[in-house]
Amino acid sequence: MAKGILGKKLGMTQIFTAEGRVIPVTVIEAGPNVVVQNKTVENDGYNAVQLGFGAVKEKNVNKPMQGHFAKANVKAVKFIRELRLPGASEYTVGQVLNADVFGEGELIDVTGTAKGKGFAGTIKRHNFACGPMGHGSKSHREPGTIGSRMSGGGGKVFKGKKLPGRMGGQKVTVQRLQVVRVDVPRNLLLVKGAVPGPKGSFVIVKNTVKPNK
């Protein structure tokens, strides 16, 4: 069964197995989630469940969202996302989901927003090599030539060309991470490895789309 949950990245630590091996883990606060809306093919054209996570003051919620929460008869939440799950009809509005939807040893995909690093050159952004570092060189960290110009009225830079620009801040999904431990009383998932985003950022946890890789 396809399943998912919203959470918040708390940081990284390490745990020890019974054999004494060290496992680096990311701690995710996964829940409680509340089902805000259930979308169906008949009404919306697709199946999805809308989950909400994170406390927020009522005064910080705009009027349309206040009406949306009132219709579902749930408290206002900060982070809302839709998960297109085949079994979305199995969820009911107002239902609460906790970290125990996943078990130890399960493989998951975690989606988050990567850390923004601002404007960066090609060496940092695309791992380009440096130019000669001698005093006679005039191009230590410059990108160099980007190819011949197109004929017919000036040059053109094709989309996707590796050039300096904004680095980070995009949506990133890390696949096939393993759930090492589930702390049900505190709604914590301990996931082996790193997940995208800084501490305190919201993430989406779903069971992996590549279980048999």
pLDDT tens over the chain, length 213 residues: 678 999 999 999 999 988 899 999 999 999 799 999 998 888 888 889 999 998 888 889 999 999 999 998 999 999 999 998 877 778 889 889 999 999 999 999 999 999 999 999 999 999 999 999 999 988 899 988 877 666 555 677 778 889 999 999 999 999 999 999 999 999 999 999 999 999 999 999 999 988 887
Domain-located, residue 213: no
Counting the structural domains of the chain, the total is 2
Residues 102 and 194 in one domain: yes
Please give the pLDDT value at position 8.
95
> What are the DSSP E strand ranges found in the chain?
4-16, 22-29, 33-39, 48-55, 77-83, 96-97, 107-113, 118-120, 165-167, 171-183, 188-192, 202-207
- Domain limits for position 96: 4-117+171-207
Domain-located, residue 22: yes
Residue 32: asked if its preceding bond is cis (omega within 30°), the reply is yes
Predicted TM-score (pTM) of this structure: 0.85
Residues 72 and 39 in one domain: yes
Residues 37 and 82 in one domain: yes
Residues 86 and 182 in one domain: yes
Residues 56 and 40 in one domain: yes
Domain-located, residue 134: yes
Residues 113 and 125 in one domain: no
Angle CA 42–89–56, to nearest 5: 105
Compute CA distances 17 → 107, 126, 183, whole Å.
18, 37, 16
Residues 188 and 102 in one domain: yes
Residues 66 and 136 in one domain: no
